[in-house]
Structure 1
Amino acid sequence: MTVGVALNAIDADNQVDATVRLAEEAAAAGLRSAWFGQTFGADSPQLAAIVGREVPALQVGTSAIPIFGRHPLVVSSQAQTAQAATHGRYHLGLALGTKLLTETGFGIPHERPIARLREFLVALRQLTETGTADFHGELLTATTPIPARVPGAGSRVPLLVAAMAPQALRASGELADGILPYLAGPRALAEHIVPAVTAAAETAGRPAPRIVAFVPAVVTDDVASVREKAAEQLAFYEQIPSYARVIELSGGKRAVDVAAIGDEETVAAEVRRYRDAGATEVVFTSTEIAGDADRLRTWALLGELAG
């Protein structure tokens, strides 16, 4: 199983410089991948391209770009550029986004997200694989009167979706290469998420999907303090219906209930539970809530598990 970490250096004086330094530390610890979120701040494909260029030992990925407020032509250009910069080590993650951020931030309605996701994936696949598109959907149009190919990007960019609900899982299984579930514990993965996306992929005649599970996790002796910080950091997700649902399916009441916080033995056991539930890759998040000592301790464990 591949293990990695989500890097977040938004409080640094220079986010790009700090992120590269963190990535170097992660690679030195033996981690295999680094992932970057997308909000209204740093452009995650650019950040991934820079880190992947500077730290060639790491696979890099975006988790994940909301499809509302974006267009497949623009996202394809970003993804292909990152893929060329990293010589094939970039992984593109897409997300449905949320009503709150879409309508408040962009001023556009967050309507028919599954239909938009399907059209986005079809058009994007054409663009990233061929550098051309002639797609005319109900919600999106993507055509290429001039080529949209980035030399050096190779023949494909892995397409993943932050999908956890039934319709999104069905679309992802049929049209994407895998999924990026977050705050979905082993029970939700094993009983709901993995079977649904796998069945959809099989029906569509596609390979078994990648299941890249994002897990809030910290190795620490100060469990109570770290858990309190994690609860505060993760509370935002509890107001989003898709996350609230998957937390409940995982057997939790709050987002922090699916976090893996404890000593090496405790956290390693949680990683094994994710593996047994069908995760093909595990990515740790929330390590920034701990001090440097706990962060490095967490990464050391991940390096051991990767080895």
Structure 2
Amino acid sequence: MKIGLYLGDGSGPSTVVNELLTAAGAGLDSVFLSQLPSWDALTLVAIGAAAVPGIELGTAVVPTYPRHPLTLAAQALTVQAVATAGFTLGIGPSHQQYIEGSLGYRYDHPARHIREYLTVLRPLLHGEAVDVHGETVTAVGRLDLPVAVAPSVLVSALGPVMLRTAGELADGTVTVWTGPRTVGDHIVPTITRAAAGAGRPAPRVVIGVGVCVTTDPDRVRAEVAAQLGFAADFPAYRAVLDREGWSEVHETVVAGTEEVVERALRRYADVGATEVLVNLLGDPRERARTLEVVAALRSAG
């Protein structure tokens, strides 16, 4: 199982470059950036790729509704051109509260939207022309860009319909707030069956997890609850929390001794996750120790 670093705090260019240097120095496989109402994640990835060329980079995730697939494909191929160690484009429909409440777009039929979006995006990333007139996406044309290797595409798929779409039309899924039981019993088998049925390779299953080596796990979880507890009200996250038997997002946090953290992360590998993205939590000392433990686990395989 690969282990990468997840940056979900809206860090700016200098911080991102420093985090990339730290992750690369620790021997981690990748660094993924979230797209928040802040710095542009794709621009940050391009800056980071130029500054630290030896580590895979990705997004987790770029919302699709505000970016037409022709535009996003051009951005992704531009990033791919400078990301010599590889670039993964993670996309997703985001949530109704943001897409409608903040941006004013209609959040109609998100699963259908993602399927139509991928029927445009994937050919464009492979240098092909598109002529799609769907119910949620219309796109005609091609990009005048050289394509040596297309970026890998992941979808923030959690429910069965989205997982089937990701298995059939993308390279895998990237998740958050998902426990190991849900990964092993629901996410892995659903997306794997879909990929096999479509004649595609085994999918990537990339799991984002908040992690902290600490003597006070209750404090760490309380901090997550205070900052991000609202996420439990989003229907997609509510569904995966319910599957795991959890009530709140802070229950997904892996926190405790070195042994507790190692055991919890290995369990994700045991249930079929191909990659784990670690979101370092806690104070600076705890974050530094957590990185050491995670790096040692990656080195040990």
Fold-level similarity (TM above 0.5): yes
Given that 1:187 and 1:251 are in contact with CA atoms closer than 8 Å, whether structure 2 keeps it comes out as no
Structure 2: distance between partners of 1:104 and 1:80: 30
Provide, for residues 165-201 of structure 1, a one-character-per-residue CA deviation record: whole Å limited to 9, x for no partner.
0110111111000000111100001111111111111
**1:128 paired residue number:** 125
Given that 2:87 and 2:152 are in contact with CA atoms closer than 8 Å, whether structure 1 keeps it comes out as yes
Shift of 1:83: 0.5
Shift of 1:239: 0.9
Structure 1 stretch displaced more, 270-279 or 51-60: 51-60
Kindly indicate whether residue 293 of structure 2 is the aligned counterpart of residue 301 of structure 1: yes
* Number of residues of Structure 1 aligned to a counterpart in Structure 2: 299
Match of 2:191 among 185, 188, 197: 197
Match of 1:187 among 181, 190, 209: 181
Shift of 1:131: 4.8
What does residue range 63-74 of structure 1 map to in structure 2 within 5 Å?
Answer: 63-74=60-71
Match of 2:240 among 212, 237, 246: 246
What does residue range 50-129 of structure 1 map to in structure 2 within 5 Å?
Answer: 50-87=47-84, 89-129=86-126
Structure 2: distance between partners of 1:8 and 1:120: 24
Provide, for residues 133-158 of structure 1, a one-character-per-residue CA deviation record: whole Å limited to 9, x for no partner.
222323212222xx51433x523111
Structure 1 stretch displaced more, 101-110 or 50-59: 50-59
Give unmatched runs, 5+ long, in structure 2: none
Match of 1:290 among 267, 282, 286: 282
Structure 1: distance between partners of 2:99 and 2:254: 30
Provide, for residues 199-220 of structure 1, a one-character-per-residue CA deviation record: whole Å limited to 9, x for no partner.
1111111111100011111112
Given that 1:7 and 1:23 are in contact with CA atoms closer than 8 Å, whether structure 2 keeps it comes out as no
Match of 2:145 among 135, 144, 150: 150
Given that 2:167 and 2:192 are in contact with CA atoms closer than 8 Å, whether structure 1 keeps it comes out as yes
Judged with a 3 Å threshold, the aligned counterparts in structure 2 of structure 1 residues 294 and 73 are, in CA distance, closer, same or farther, namely: same
Match of 1:230 among 224, 237, 257: 224
Provide, for residues 271-302 of structure 1, a one-character-per-residue CA deviation record: whole Å limited to 9, x for no partner.
111011110000012x2x42221111111112
Matched position secondary structure for 1:108 = coil
Structure 2: distance between partners of 1:265 and 1:234: 26
Given that 1:36 and 1:62 are in contact with CA atoms closer than 8 Å, whether structure 2 keeps it comes out as yes
Provide, for residues 87-127 of structure 1, a one-character-per-residue CA deviation record: whole Å limited to 9, x for no partner.
25110001121110000111121001111101110100110
Moved over 3 A (4+): none
**1:267 paired residue number:** 261
Given that 2:88 and 2:154 are in contact with CA atoms closer than 8 Å, whether structure 1 keeps it comes out as yes
Given that 2:127 and 2:145 are in contact with CA atoms closer than 8 Å, whether structure 1 keeps it comes out as no
Structure 1: distance between partners of 2:227 and 2:26: 25
Structure 2: distance between partners of 1:63 and 1:149: 26
Matched position secondary structure for 2:176 = coil
Matched position secondary structure for 1:30 = coil
Provide, for residues 226-258 of structure 1, a one-character-per-residue CA deviation record: whole Å limited to 9, x for no partner.
121122223021110110110121121111111
TM-score (norm 2): 0.95
TM-score (norm 1): 0.93
Given that 2:6 and 2:32 are in contact with CA atoms closer than 8 Å, whether structure 1 keeps it comes out as yes
Structure 2: distance between partners of 1:38 and 1:9: 9
Matched position secondary structure for 2:273 = coil
Matched position secondary structure for 2:247 = coil
Given that 2:217 and 2:256 are in contact with CA atoms closer than 8 Å, whether structure 1 keeps it comes out as yes
Structure 2: distance between partners of 1:39 and 1:81: 20
Could you tell me which amino acid in structure 2 is paired with residue 4 of structure 1? Answer: G
**2:3 paired residue number:** 3
Provide, for residues 38-90 of structure 1, a one-character-per-residue CA deviation record: whole Å limited to 9, x for no partner.
12211111111111221122110000011112210011011101100112511
Given that 1:131 and 1:150 are in contact with CA atoms closer than 8 Å, whether structure 2 keeps it comes out as no
Structure 2: distance between partners of 1:301 and 1:98: 34
Match of 2:44 among 41, 44, 47: 47
Structure 2: distance between partners of 1:251 and 1:277: 17
**1:169 paired residue number:** 163
Shift of 1:161: 0.3
Structure 2: distance between partners of 1:220 and 1:150: 48
